């Protein structure tokens, strides 16, 4: 009996210690004005909502102006309207938010609190303030391949890469798409499609929703007799919709278009453009992106061109995705003997990187 008791006491103590440790991991609580209580770890507060990670219900958010008390034993960085900040344990005393650090203490009314961040959120915030040029990049690359052997021999290769670096102040985005297709029928070999499209853009935030932008586009299309289209321009944009699931931006400005054709023909014109960029998270694993630009010639004649791109991406594994993309280019005044519209549609597996 003594031998059994000797082992029972440590086991019971370990169980109690495990329960206490689990409780500490979720040592935080938010009490609402209507009496609701949410227990978990405080992730962040952005001035409007407070976000908590709970054990049973995942991540939940609540209106900050409906909170009557908040507590967190895990360190939280609290920022006030006057710029003061302190990291430490969090509590509510006499209606005030109290932060207790190692060597300091901060008290403020809830209305004076502009932000709260746990250690992970604070690290991400600080990284966004002054990141290196090679940091914060995220994006995806995809490859598609199709072919046939027999009476006809065909081969189609497609590739696409999109990447963006987004900070609190600006955004850099790059993209590249290419398709090459050939066919061998009756001993005659011919290319059936060959096009390359690339772009780089830079957006600088002027206000939370208003931004200035500059871009540079390149395009080659063998069957439109286009050797090179070089476009450089800039303008302004406004985020008409900005939410957790989607963002819609409308843009407009002017650009310079220099196009060289193999006919031979060269066009150098000024253009005015307008359009939109849209992204939507359809489900937890599927997202949709869409971009449209209308370019109107400013040199007379009523010529115009339209760029339209649509992409759908579904995550299959953690970093593996299935992608579908449509890329349409319309030219109102193509060279003689060519159609005005070229549509590329590709599908294949992809690899994501970054966030």
3-state secondary structure of 230: strand
What would the mean pLDDT of 36-62 be, rounded to a whole number? 89
If we measure between CA atoms, which residue out of 182, 177, 184 comes closest to residue 192?
Answer: 182
Q: For residue range 193-206, list pLDDT tens digits in order.
A: 788 999 999 999 99
pLDDT of residue 191: 65
* 155, pLDDT greater than 90: no
257-298 confidence digits (pLDDT tens): 999 999 889 999 999 999 999 999 999 899 999 999 999 999
List pLDDT tens digits, range 91-127. Answer: 988 889 999 998 899 999 988 999 999 988 888 888 7
Q: How far apart are CA 115 and CA 113, in angstroms?
A: 6
d(CA 131, CA 138): 14
The residue written with tokens 């006499």 in the block is 94
Q: Which structural domains are found in the chain, ordered by start? A: 27-129 (no CATH), 137-353 (2.40.160.40)
The secondary structure of 240-305, three-state, reads EEECCCEEEEEEEEEEEEEEEECCCEEEEEEEEEEEEEEEEECCCCEEEEEEEEEEEECCCCCCEE
Q: Which residue has the tokens 């344990």?
A: 89
């Amino acid at each position: 009996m003594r031998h059994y008791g000797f082992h029972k006491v440590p086991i019971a103590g370990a169980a109690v210690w495990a329960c206490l440790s689990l409780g500490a991991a979720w040592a935080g609580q938010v009490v609402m004005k209507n009496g609701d209580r949410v227990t978990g770890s405080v992730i962040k507060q952005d001035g409007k909502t407070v976000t908590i990670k709970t054990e049973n219900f995942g991540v939940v958010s609540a209106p900050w102006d409906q909170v009557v008390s908040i507590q967190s034993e895990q360190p939280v960085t609290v920022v006030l309207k006057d710029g003061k900040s302190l990291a430490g344990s969090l509590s509510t005393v006499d209606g005030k938010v109290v932060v207790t650090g190692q060597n300091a203490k901060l008290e403020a009314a809830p209305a004076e609190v502009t932000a709260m961040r746990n250690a992970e959120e604070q690290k991400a915030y600080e990284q966004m303030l002054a990141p290196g040029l090679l940091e914060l990049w995220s994006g995806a690359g995809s490859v598609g391949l199709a072919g046939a052997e027999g009476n006809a021999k065909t081969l189609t290769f497609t590739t696409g890469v999109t990447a963006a670096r987004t900070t609190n102040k600006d955004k850099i985005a790059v993209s590249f798409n290419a398709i090459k297709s050939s066919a061998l029928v009756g001993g005659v070999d011919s290319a059936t499609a060959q096009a390359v499209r690339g772009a780089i853009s830079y957006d600088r935030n002027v206000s939370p929703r208003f931004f200035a932008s500059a871009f540079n586009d390149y395009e080659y299309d063998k069957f439109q007799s286009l050797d090179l289209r070089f476009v450089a321009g800039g303008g302004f944009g406004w985020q008409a919709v900005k939410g957790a699931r989607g963002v819609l931006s409308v843009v407009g400005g002017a650009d310079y278009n220099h196009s060289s054709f193999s006919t031979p023909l060269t066009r150098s014109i000024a253009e005015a453009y307008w359009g939109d960029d849209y992204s939507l998270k359809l489900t937890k694993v599927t997202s949709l992106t869409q971009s449209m630009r209308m370019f109107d010639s400013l040199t007379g004649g009523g010529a115009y061109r339209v760029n339209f791109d649509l992409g759908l991406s579904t995550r299959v594994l953690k970093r593996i995705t299935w992608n579908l993309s449509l890329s349409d280019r319309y030219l109102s005044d193509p060279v003689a003997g060519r159609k005005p519209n070229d549509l590329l549609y590709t599908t294949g597996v992809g690899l994501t990187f970054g966030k």
